[in-house]
Structure 1
Amino acid sequence: MYFATLLAQDAAATMDLSAQISQNLMTTNNVWMMLSTALVFIMHLGFAGVEAGFGQAKNTVNILFKNTITPILGILSYAFVGFYLMYPGFETPGWFGFDAAGWSMFWFSPGDADVSTGYADGGYTYWTDFLFQAMFAATAATIVSGAIAERVKLWAYLVFTLIYVGIVYPLIGSWKWGGGALDAMGFYDFAGSTLVHSVGGWGALAGVILVGPRIGKYVNGKTVDKPGSSVPLAVIGVFLLWLGWFGFNGGSVLSADPALVSFVLVTTSLAACAGGLGGFLAGNLVFKRLDLGMVLNGILAGLVGITAGADVINPLAAVFVGFVAGILVVYSAVLLDKLHLDDVVGAVSVHLTCGVWGTLAVGIFSTNPDHTFFTQLIGVAICGAVAFSAAFIIFLVLKKTIGIRVSEEHERNGLDSHEHGIRGYTIVYDE
């Protein structure tokens, strides 16, 4: 009896220790995920800096206004509709999982939210899950903002954001991250080269086509440069985005796994550096000058390119993926100008062109033999067709109803004075 009692006590102590270890691990994982969420959030400030820096001074407040409203609307629309659409609980993999899940919004029963170690394999809580994914969702809309800046009606952009972030982005995301048809097919996108970046890029391309180029951008077959308001601000924005990407990719591990998180951060940084180098060399070759803008976009191109496979592409291959992305972003920007598609910040080139490249690169360089180029190509094509068609339809309906472009007078004078009543840069001299 004595020994039986000791054994029972040892078993109970072991169980208590195991539970404590599990809880501590859950806490560590959740803290990393919350930190990653904060890093992704700071990317909105990075986008604001890049767009305001590359945009003309007369439109600075308008650009900053959009970048302030975008995460507000993005997070709210994702809470109302998007989170449910993206993770509907497919009974069997498919394209629509609504019937399988039943309608549910995350705040209806906060007392029932799972914050135990049983949720997400002990990686994070239900609330952290929502907020991390909501930050991703808002990023997709921000990509569109920069491409069509300086001539789009604010209200039209806001309506587009609500629909695109609330419905289109999460629906496409559900096909992979929600356990849908693309996931069953074997399509792989670790942190969103396609599901976030190229989805945003396709939306940006549709907007650029329908809104049209800025007045005076293309004259007699030549491209006219429109100098940005602040090069330092653009540089600060890019470095903030690079910082945020540690959370964007590192958080996509969905735990604080030390081996995998550190590996992902290494491949992410190497690709960013290689992308900047590719942009530098290609920009010098094409424009015959040391083009800082192309170095900056090259860094972002490398980051976008590695995002799909940051956990399955080895460091040397990550350098190659980033370097190619940095070259592609330059030639993509040149091609868009030849087609008279006016993208103020190069969002289409960075997020669409390099998002596609990075996703396909998984099928070439992944250390997982199950990842094939053909499957990646099919996934890219499906996501692209749906994202572009949806964005084009939304913009077209808005164009035919409330209009999507400001008047010529407002565009020439600047959107700040007409729509906001203040200017982004004001020098006041004492009388």
Structure 2
Amino acid sequence: MKFLAITLSLSFPLFAENIQERMASYDELNLTWILISAALVLLMQAGFTAVETGMIRAKNSINVAIKNAIDLMFAIAIFFLVGYAFMFGDSVGGWIGFSHFALSDVTEEYDFAFFVFQAMFAGTAITIVSGAVAERMNFLGYIIAGVILIAFVYPVFGHWTWGGGWLSEMGFMDFAGSTIVHSIGAWAGLAATLIMGPRIGRFRKGKVVEIPSYNLSTVAVGIFILWFGWFGFNGGSTLGITDNVAKIILNTNISAAFGGVTAFFVSILLYGKPIVDKVMFGALAGLVGITAGCDVVSTGGAVGIGVLSGIAMYFGEYVLIKLKIDDPVSAIPVHGFAGAVGTITLAIFAPEDSLSTGGMWSQIYVQIFGVVTGFLWAFLIGIFIFTIFKGIGILRVSHKDEYIGLNASEHDAKLEFNDALKTINQIVASGDFSKRMKVEPNSEVAILARSFNELLNDIESSAKTMSKIANGDLAVEVIPRSQKDLLRNSLQNMILNMRNAIVEIQDGSETIQKNLANIQHSKNVFVDSNSQFMKGIDNITISLDNANLGEGSAVLHNDIQKGEKAIRQSIADIEGVNNSLEDIVSAIEKLNLKAKKVKETIGKLEEISDQSNLLALNAAVEAAHAGIHGKGFTVIADEVQHLAENSMVLTRDIGKIVDEMLKEADNTKVQTSEGQRRVIKLTKESKDSLSALDKISNLTSNTFAIISNILDLIKQQSRNRGESEHMLHTLSISLSQVMGRSTKLQNSVSHFKA
């Protein structure tokens, strides 16, 4: 009795005042309330079991259920042996209790009731870890971790707070365990999930893969059980029927409701519809959040804590997904994040006169310090322990066991439905459709078994039909049950199609053989023709070689070039002659001009001669008149007359010569012009001849190039003769093979009997 009074005064500051009076006035009603509350907290184990088994897959449901049962058993046993002593024993420097191991020296009824109540809290802490590590943790490793958590981690931190340790002396407030119970379990679970890793297939290529839950209806039932049990969890923490119990239960109820309502609206906002587990976990987060301050906050504060706890749950899930941390039942967001939020915000929503430090900001500091301390304590020890477990191979089950499911691999436990699925998988994997599922009368899977067996009957019957078809019996009849009987309809169509195909194959095979015979004949004709063709090629090759076209081509090309050179030289000479003729014509024209001038001069000389002759005549007349004195002048006159007559004769002769010369010059000019015209014509014809010769040269070059190419092609054809003969030989072999296969096809088809 004295021990409990001391413990309560250290553990619960709100009860420190007048504790002796309260303990003195306790009665059987208070004792009954503690035990009822303990029973309600025990009932919460059923709620946790329902939530966890509903959230995970059926193949692991028994494993989760046995963990919830075993961890409660070990929690009570270990808490009895050492946990209670470390948590509520005599304090050693405010760090750890160290008395009353195995309840030694504890004799009072009230102390017994207190132990029962606190042992249920210890069971809750380890159960939270169970949800976080579900579907992949080794059972032995889980039990050992649970023992360490209950024996040391949880009670030591509990001593710092409820046991009157150093956090309690700082003024840290956590009435019923938002941090002390729930967050400690959550942070230990976080350490395990980090070291262990996610379930197989949870995260693929950077994307989150939703793993379906076994039964969300069970989850909902579990939440209701937890909600009901929480009245004892929070209400029983008064350790008696006080005037504060109703308020505590009211606040618990309100926070849970508003946590669920908040989760509902957030779900609508994020997903467009209410997601069942999110809404349920919102209510559970509200229960966890209010646990720390349910005794001091008002109903308005309970509303605020419920709303913030629901949001904290969503935030926690978001953080875990981003970090690829797999928590199958959202234990860490609900118990860790919501627990931390509820513990810290009680300093905001509680009246200042109810705060241990007497002020909001100082209390917020203490609350944050206590929450961080709890996180580091549980998380770091968890990292250390689970790293060792991983090293010695007792942390996680094998991939094979995880695929099979922990029900079978860890406990050899079976579920009727799972067994039915296993049988189906075995039959499908083996391909032995002669096996049948065992039908248990009046069981839930009996209908499934009968339907599957009937399906196996159909498959086996169809397999036998196909076996007959494979043996050549196409006369087998298949009668579908209905138009929707896909299997039998398909078999019936297959038989009909095969019958038609056999007929077509037989006809086609005969046609193929006939065509092959024709091809063989055509091939022989082609061989003969090709032989004649190759002979002709050989003759052409010989003729062309004898013709020595290459050397003739070169000689002809040289002659053409020489002819081109001679024609060009002739053109040049003709053009020179033409130029000379032009010069002659020009000279003749000049000579004509000069001859005309000479003629004009002769005309003048004739006039002079006439005048001279007239003058001589006049002189002779005058001399005759003079008589003897004019005798000498007569001689001169005679000479002048004679000279004039000679000059006249000479002038006339020169004139005749000039006229003849002009006439000859004109004739020469005409002839020269005609010669010039002919020279021009000859030049044009020569140039035309040169152009024609160029064309002949080019044509000759092209002709011999073509002939050269023909020679090359003929030579190539000669070289390809061997390849052609090899190809024809291969064709003959292929035709023989096709003929043989066609015969085999006819023989194979004859195996079937329509």
Please give the TM-score of this superposition, normalised by the length of structure 1: 0.88
CA deviation profile, 1:221-249 (whole Å, cap 9, x unmatched):
11111111111111111111111100000
Q: CA deviation at 1:164?
A: 0.5
Matched, 1:181 2:166: yes
Partner of 2:275: 291
Code of the residue aligned with 1:413 in structure 2: it is: I
2:316 to 332, 355, 358: 332
Partner of 1:417: 408
SS at match of 2:155: helix
Matched, 1:135 2:120: yes
Code of the residue aligned with 2:94 in structure 1: it is: G
SS at match of 2:335: helix
User: Within 2, Cα distance between the matches of 1:24 and 1:90?
Assistant: 27
User: Within 1, Cα distance between the matches of 2:416 and 2:107?
Assistant: 46
Partner of 1:119: none
Partner of 1:308: 292
The within-5 A match list for 1:10-409 is 25-90=26-91, 94-98=94-98, 103-108=99-104, 113-115=107-109, 125-257=110-242, 259-367=243-351, 368-371=354-357, 372-409=363-400
User: Within 2, Cα distance between the matches of 1:131 and 1:244?
Assistant: 15
Code of the residue aligned with 1:358 in structure 2: it is: G
User: Within 1, Cα distance between the matches of 2:413 and 2:369?
Assistant: 48
- Contact 2:81-2:103 within 8 A present in 1 as well: no
Unpaired runs of 5+ residues, structure 2, are: 1-21, 358-362, 418-443, 451-754
Code of the residue aligned with 1:114 in structure 2: it is: E
What RMSD, in angstroms, separates the aligned Cα atoms of the two structures? Answer: 1.7
Greater CA drift, 340-349 or 217-226: 217-226
User: Within 1, Cα distance between the matches of 2:61 and 2:23?
Assistant: 49
Q: CA deviation at 1:126?
A: 1.0
Partner of 1:12: none
User: Within 2, Cα distance between the matches of 1:351 and 1:57?
Assistant: 24
Q: CA deviation at 1:370?
A: 3.3
For residues 424 and 350 of structure 1, do their structure 2 counterparts lie closer, same or farther at Cα, with a shift above 3 Å needed? farther
Bigger relative contact order (CA 8 A; separation at least 6):
1
Larger Rg: 2
Q: CA deviation at 1:425?
A: 5.1
User: Within 1, Cα distance between the matches of 2:381 and 2:23?
Assistant: 44
User: Within 1, Cα distance between the matches of 2:25 and 2:347?
Assistant: 37
CA deviation profile, 1:367-388 (whole Å, cap 9, x unmatched):
2243510111111111111111
User: Within 1, Cα distance between the matches of 2:164 and 2:332?
Assistant: 28
Partner of 1:120: none
Q: CA deviation at 1:107?
A: 4.2
User: Within 2, Cα distance between the matches of 1:340 and 1:347?
Assistant: 15
SS at match of 2:81: helix
SS at match of 2:140: helix
Q: CA deviation at 1:312?
A: 0.5
- Contact 1:301-1:329 within 8 A present in 2 as well: yes
Code of the residue aligned with 1:262 in structure 2: it is: A
Q: CA deviation at 1:108?
A: 4.0
For residues 305 and 327 of structure 1, do their structure 2 counterparts lie closer, same or farther at Cα, with a shift above 3 Å needed? same
User: Within 2, Cα distance between the matches of 1:328 and 1:278?
Assistant: 11
For residues 148 and 27 of structure 1, do their structure 2 counterparts lie closer, same or farther at Cα, with a shift above 3 Å needed? same
Unpaired runs of 5+ residues, structure 1, are: 1-20, 116-124
Q: CA deviation at 1:421?
A: 2.1
User: Within 2, Cα distance between the matches of 1:184 and 1:176?
Assistant: 8
Q: CA deviation at 1:290?
A: 1.2
* Larger helix share, 1 or 2: 2
User: Within 2, Cα distance between the matches of 1:335 and 1:380?
Assistant: 18
- Contact 2:89-2:100 within 8 A present in 1 as well: no
